[in-house]
Amino acid sequence: MSDKSLAPLVVTICHESPWRLSGGGVETKAKLALLSSAGMRSVPVVWQWSHEKPYSGDSTILMRKRTAWEAPLAHVLKPSPIAVRVVAIDDVRKLAARIQDGSSPAARRIVVCDGLHGIDLAHALAGALNARLVYRSHNIEAHHRQIQIWLGSRFSPVNLLNALKFSRWDKWAREVADITAEICEEDIAWEKQWMAGKRVVVPPIIPKAGDIDKLSYQCDIAFVGSLDNAINVEGLRFLSAELMRNYPHLRLGVFGAASERSIAYWRSRLPDCLFIPNFNNFNDIIELAPVVVNPVLRSSGVNIKTYEALANGALVVATKAGQRGCKQARAIGQLFDLGSTDLNEIVARAKRDGIQGVRARRKRFQDTIAGPAEAAYLSLFNE
């Protein structure tokens, strides 16, 4: 370490089921890869469970989806492999002890509570640490010495860089290969099922091509997000009122986890609404609905959902909160404000452009926004 006075940074990412190949598990590993690329060099790839049995995973899983998190991976995976140990924690108090143990007392720690149960885990962990919770927008911060608890939605490149800037950590992150990353799995039952050979498989809601007529799944606009998330529910309630009042003829497709009770409730409000749970591949979603609506009323940092939809060539209509970090896309005619846009015109344009329009928008977004942003971010660690 070039400067002995600089304290190490320990980042712990908690997710209830990080190895599920759909949804948050892939995104969590992508976050780890991007984080690790900032401080780890020439470390072998190791995916392990707590009892030392190797996980037969493949780092190429990280490349399956090209999200805002995964975009830089093509540049950093080969020169900067990832070292991660997966640790099963069945008691939040043990997790709290582990977070505080084994590091310098002066170390700064960031704990990221990811997944659908991130808020519950953040509350429990803060209690175990005797930390004071502070609500900022829909994020939670816990003030406990030098430990911060973040929700997964806050863990973005921008916010991480802002955290590193304190106490010259930006300089330290570029020079020192000493960032420790762990995934602590909250759900032990899920791990036991996996190790017993009973893999938890989420069946595809949309069968493979040729099995059905995809026309039955076509919709005019898509809402993407789990209905187990309070922020998404709040946004969908706002959107449903707008659709009932001004666009009753447009068919909405909801792509994301939803219980039977949730589906019954929303169908009572939007009878023609199409629900496709556990389905979040933007390539396929855009094939069914090339217009994505992000009606969230609260957000902070880059809105990953909007960014991913734009990167995949969708036309996106979003609230002010849903546009955060993505407003450059308005200049290239791909992002629109929900409060001042006629959805009829956007849907008509998407249908008129067809798949060629999707491909053209995808390339234009990469050339004008995503590519330069990736280069600027990676330059921070290559000086």
Neighbouring residues of 325: CB distance < 8 A, sequence distance ≥ 6: 156, 158, 301, 302, 303, 306, 307
pLDDT tens for each residue of 12-68: 666 544 443 333 444 555 555 555 544 433 222 222 222 222 333 333 333 333 233
Percent of the chain with pLDDT over 70: 39
pLDDT value at 317 more than 90: yes
Show Cβ contacts of residue 200 under 8 Å, excluding neighbours closer than 6 positions: 17, 20, 190, 193, 194
The pLDDT, as a whole number, for residue 93 is 66
Residue 352 has pLDDT above 70, yes or no: yes
Q: Report how far residue 221's alpha carbon sits from residue 255's, in angstroms, rounded to the nearest whole number.
A: 11
Q: 349: pLDDT confidence band, cut at 50, 70 and 90?
A: very high
Region for residue 276 given its phi and psi (left: phi exceeds 0; alpha: psi -120 to 50; beta: otherwise) = beta
Is the Cβ–Cβ distance between 238 and 269 less than 8 Å? no
More confident residue, 237 or 106: 237
Instruction: Give the mean model confidence (pLDDT) for residues 148-163.
Output: 58
SS3 breakdown of the chain: % helix, strand, coil, rounded to 5?
Answer: 45, 15, 40
* Amino acid code (one letter) for 51: H
Question: What tens digit of pLDDT does each residue of 204-223 get?
Answer: 344 444 444 566 678 899 99
Name the phi and psi angles at 148, rounded to 5.
Answer: -115, 140
Residue 112 pLDDT exceeds 90 = no
Q: Poorest-confidence range of 134-148, 300-314, 354-368?
A: 134-148
Residue 345 pLDDT greater than 90, yes or no: yes
Q: List strand residue ranges (DSSP E) for 236-363, in order.
A: 252-255, 274-276, 291-294, 315-318, 335-337
Q: Would you state the structure tokens that stand for residue 95, as one six-digit string? A: 């997790």
Class of the domain covering 214-374: alpha beta
Does the pLDDT value for residue 199 go beyond 80? no
Domain residue ranges of the chain, discontinuous segments joined by +? 9-201, 214-374
Burial 44-64 (b: 16+ CB within 10 A, else e): eeebebeeeeeeebeeeebee
Q: So what's the pLDDT on residue 335?
A: 92
| Element housing 142 (H / E) | strand 139-143
Distances, alpha carbon 267 to alpha carbons 37, 237, 244, 274, 333, in Å: 45, 12, 12, 9, 32
Backbone phi, then psi, for 121, in 5-degree steps?
Answer: -65, -40
Beta-sheet pairing, 85-88 with 180-185: parallel
Does residue 325 register a pLDDT over 50? yes
- Dmax (CA) of the chain: 65
Query: Residues 193, 13, 159, CA angle at the centre, nearest 5°?
Result: 150
Q: What is the pLDDT of residue 5?
A: 38
What mean pLDDT, rounded, does the chain reach? 61
Q: Specify the pLDDT at position 379.
A: 53
pLDDT at 382 over 60: no
The confidence score (pLDDT) of residue 95 equals: 66
Residue 260, SS3 per DSSP: helix
Q: Which residues contact 85 (CB under 8 A, 6 or more apart)?
A: 46, 48, 182, 183
Looking at residue 238, its pLDDT comes to: 83
The residues pairing with 183 across neighbouring beta strands, listed in sequence order, are 13, 86
Res. 375: pLDDT tops 80: no
Q: What is the pLDDT of residue 28?
A: 52
Does residue 351 contact residue 358 with C-beta atoms inside 8 Å?
A: no
Q: For 225-280, write each residue's pLDDT tens digit.
A: 877 777 788 888 888 888 888 888 888 888 877 777 777 778 777 777 888 765 65
Give the model's pLDDT for residue 360.
Answer: 92
**The pair of three-digit structure tokens given for residue 15, joined into one six-digit string:** 């997710």
